Structure 1
Amino acid sequence: MFQDVDEDTGLPVAGGSCTIFANLLERATYLNRPHKREKNNASPSVPPALRKRKANSMAGCSQWQPEKTSNVDKSNNDRIILNSINETNPSFYQLLEASYADQRTFLNNILEAPSVLDIQREWPVLFNKNAIKWHFNKLTGSNLDFLSENLNNKAAKIVQFGLNTKLINCIETENLNYQSLEVLSKYFKEDFSLLYYKFKYSTDIEEILKVNAPCIVEIENKGTSVYLEKVKVTHCIHFTEALQVAFVLYFNMNLEYIKAISTTLEMIQRYFLKIHPDSGTKSQKISSSKKSDWFNE
């Protein structure tokens, strides 16, 4: 199902596994290479018990904590202005760039991670959709548009696979992106309902949500939103945009994938966004056999 194929002919390339084999070989070579531990790697401000959490938070991030260059007064002024303007202002992205190190310093408090309410109070702009996407691209060096582009291109194939293997009973042509992720979660025997909720009415949503992790909530005739810690953080136009935002929050906010759907989320990260960390993982636990099976169908 996930083998390497020529985009023009549709035929397998080098047996269909050359890219993943090359990636695995490169990874194995890296892990087996002698590594000298630098004295500064073990941050004295982070207790040993939390260093693994920090390493996992940094997984896949190339700009996790840049050095701060501005003074305190300018930083506070930039934050106040940025929180009060919208993305149509010409200064919006300039201020995001100028205050990025301050944003990361605020979010990277491993000892006492800020809550959603803390973020809404101090850095509400971090829940602006455009700011969320910009922050992710800056943080990872990736491009969030790859997620929607690759999902749009591959959804029909994944859904057809789900139909052929009886993971689903029919194809919903108007909901291919949603259905493709449903197929993946069923294939990995995971609970997609922890990521996506659909309600007829908007009453008592916070009490019904099962997890504090990022999730998508669709209310009939009222649109789609993303919740974090059972708090609504932003409204989205459609499912795919909500998926982008919900997934990105795991990176931006230093969160681990929830165990019950971690393989599906890891699939989104690696297969659709092509983010392959050299070290660390956002999965609390992931089966190596499942990972290899992704590319063997």
Structure 2
Amino acid sequence: MGTFLQALLLGLLVGGVYALAASGMSLIFGVMRVVNLAQGGMLILSAYLTYTLWETIGLDPLLLVLITTPCLLIVGWATYYVFIERSRTTDASMALVTTFGLTLITKGVIALIWGNEPKSVTPDYANRSFDVFGLKLPQAQVYACLVAVVVLGALYLLLRRTWLGRSVQATASSSEGARLIGIEVRSTWAAAYAIGVGAAGAGGSLLSVLYPFMPSSADHWIGLLLAIVVLGGMGSLAGSVLGALVIAAAESLTATYISPDWASAVPYLAIILVLVARPQGLLGARLREDMSRA
């Protein structure tokens, strides 16, 4: 029983960080109906920025969330106006191709600047753990999860308690209806994309403490993020949190009781099962076909 609880708690701690990383992707899809395949590249870009700042100024990598989040938010805002906006108005599939191209560009730029060697961020507490009722809880996972919860809480308040958040929600429900009540939809789309990429900035800093990374790691993370948002329900932030916790716990239990090699297959198995059994995801709403095309 102790082994099961240990594996489950470790999975849930990592799941909190997964939830933050996936929340941006879910937000972008919910508002713009764009599957942002560039999100994995943004995560790894943030991880490399965290690594560089940690080595240069020695600031705790978890505190660097305060720097990487606004930096990636600016990157997201610029990326929307330069690349995403035109592709969205041309054809729906073009936005998907564009974000995939952005991932390739991001990986190339990262490799050019930092090289292809794996990097890792190892603060003093990276190899320490808390002993709670005989269970070992790694300090890095505990601290990263707490920071993720705080950032997710701030994102929730932003979307629920501010004018910008209400504009994002109205635009997600109906862009035409939002225009009728005076909302500048173009700016709201840009803000939603920027916030989504900013969330990847925070998530990348936290993940840099938990896992080694290299430019090609973007491919792994985009697959994992897709699995999370599909499982939780495309466009549902609450679904992303639930999907992240389920997948992270399943990965941890699989690694403990079967093999670590099989843990990497869990996200893709989740995608297959969800698409077969419940295509709208755990908390997603099934849309009428005519409405989904509007």
TM > 0.5 between the two? no
Q: More helix by proportion, 1 or 2?
A: 2
TM range (shorter): under 0.3
Instruction: Look at both structures and tell me which one has the larger radius of gyration over its CA atoms.
Output: 1
TM-score between both structures, scaled by the size of structure 1: 0.23
TM-score between both structures, scaled by the size of structure 2: 0.23
Q: More strand by proportion, 1 or 2?
A: 1
